[in-house]
Chains A and B, each alone.
Chain A
């Protein structure tokens, strides 16, 4: 099993979520996050004093999938989250050693 954490633009959340849903991925965790990367920040003024906005708002989607679906899921995310401009985000993939469904006690891939 793999865990995918992808950090994407806020306005791409609906597209990515719907595409994953159509593919059959129904479980995911979505968080509002702020962060920085190549996009950098900008300087604004509030009541005449400058301040930096370095950490920009993004959305993080976490989803755990069977190994066999990995390439397809990555394709779906890239296709739906991409604008081609700096700031599109990143995808991180990690190994997951076990999953337990709290309600039933099932474990392994059927618990995803």
Chain B
């Protein structure tokens, strides 16, 4: 740079600085404190500035629903971001030679899930839910197929169109519920990683998104028969599951369990002498980052399940979620540290996620000290379960999806029936009063939750077991052994996750 250019640059900088000082000294006619922005003039009225009582009331109602829409949509976007968490956890805790395959499954399940849920899943789950007042009423969703008054499945809103579903409230509900469903779809990929065919996961994801998840979801959240156990048989409020320990996590975990059993373990996981071999994950920082993203997403998952930013219970739900996750991770860490001499990072992650899964169903209904207890039990359960599934049952679950989601999902459903303290849930499922668990005097609620657990076992594990059996016998679900040993990236995906660390063999690399 010549001396002249330097001199010019210097004078331009000085001149700019001088201008900024002059502007800063002049009082501008805006509203820097915000005191004068927003007021009576902003209320929609026939005579501007002089709204009638009715016009004010209309505006207040609009605001309430507006807050609830924004709350539900933004927490839904946070739940969508949990896809990134799942992708990182599952890829970090598996081996590098399959990384493109494992990571791509986690994107694909969303693509497939969104389509399947749009076509038929949403209509089956929520087609008969009725008018949800928190999001301004979802009037078109009024078609529930029932037998003797017991709801079985909904049938309004196919393609988000049928029965007049072109409705802002319906669309808000769809977005939130689609990303929830997607969480269930992405759980099995972790348990089946490193040996499952990519095409198998495509078919499985359609199956979960279109049938397995929505029908069970209808029974609990869509006004179906499990939700009616309270109003019809007097079992508490019927099955309650605030944000889906059962509906989302146990169902996703059921598919993970059935899938891992029928696929069989990864080659070399179990030695002929009975030794259980460790396959350490290839990128522990990636797995931990994924866990933190999932934790963040859970602040959308649980508090968002009010579907209402104007429901001030959201603060209690958020703190319950935070503490159960923290305690779950801490307890797992300490157990591993004492038992195996070091605080295994992958089990710290599993512990935190186990606490979060377990608090998902109770988070709206229990007090904070119960949440801490529920999280602590989850931290113990997940360690026992991981070791038991791995060494005793010899079911190969590379990332611990069965123990985190299936086992702790069931614990969350049960814990709701024990610890719900009766302060929240008035009118839920058509039953007056707060949801009350066994410890606070309602054994009926406890029985309803037990029934829920039984149905999860039969519908979730049973049906997915049959599904995978049929798929295995027809199209096959497992890759060829030589592909599994070499790594699935090239045989299944055609591209390596990390080509720079592999000798180049492509003709494209020749000329460089």
Contacts and interface: CB of A to CB of B under 8 A. Distances in A.
B386 A44 contact: no
A106 to B, nearest CB: 26
Nearest to A50: B278
B305 to A, nearest CB: 31
A46 B390 contact: no
B342 A44 contact: yes
Contacts of B386: 47-48
Given A51-B278, A51-B280, A45 B390 contact: no
A43 to B, nearest CB: 10
A29 interface: no
Contacts of A50: 278
B344 A49 contact: no
A80 B276 CA distance: 42
Interface in B278-321: 278-281
A46 to B, nearest CB: 4
Interface in A44-84: 44-51
B342 A48 contact: no
Task: Report the interface size class on chain A.
Answer: under 10
B387 interface: yes
Contact of B277 (A44, A45, A49): A49
Contacts of A47: 278, 344, 346-347, 386, 390, 400
A45 B341 contact: yes
B231 interface: no
Nearest to A45: B340
Contacts of B278: 45-47, 49-51
A38 B387 CA distance: 34
B142 interface: no
A46 B280 contact: yes
A47 B391 CA distance: 11
B279 to A, nearest CB: 8
B280 A48 contact: no
A86 B141 CA distance: 74
Contacts of B281: 46
Given A45-B342, A46-B281, A48-B390, 19 more contacts: A44-B342, A45-B340, A45-B341, A46-B280, A46-B346, A47-B278, A47-B346, A47-B386, A47-B390, A48-B386, A48-B387, A48-B391, A49-B276, A49-B277, A49-B278, A49-B390, A50-B278, A51-B277, A51-B278
Interface of A: 44-51
15 contacts: A45-B342, A46-B278, A46-B281, A46-B344, A47-B278, A47-B386, A48-B339, A48-B347, A48-B387, A48-B390, A49-B277, A49-B390, A49-B391, A51-B278, A51-B280
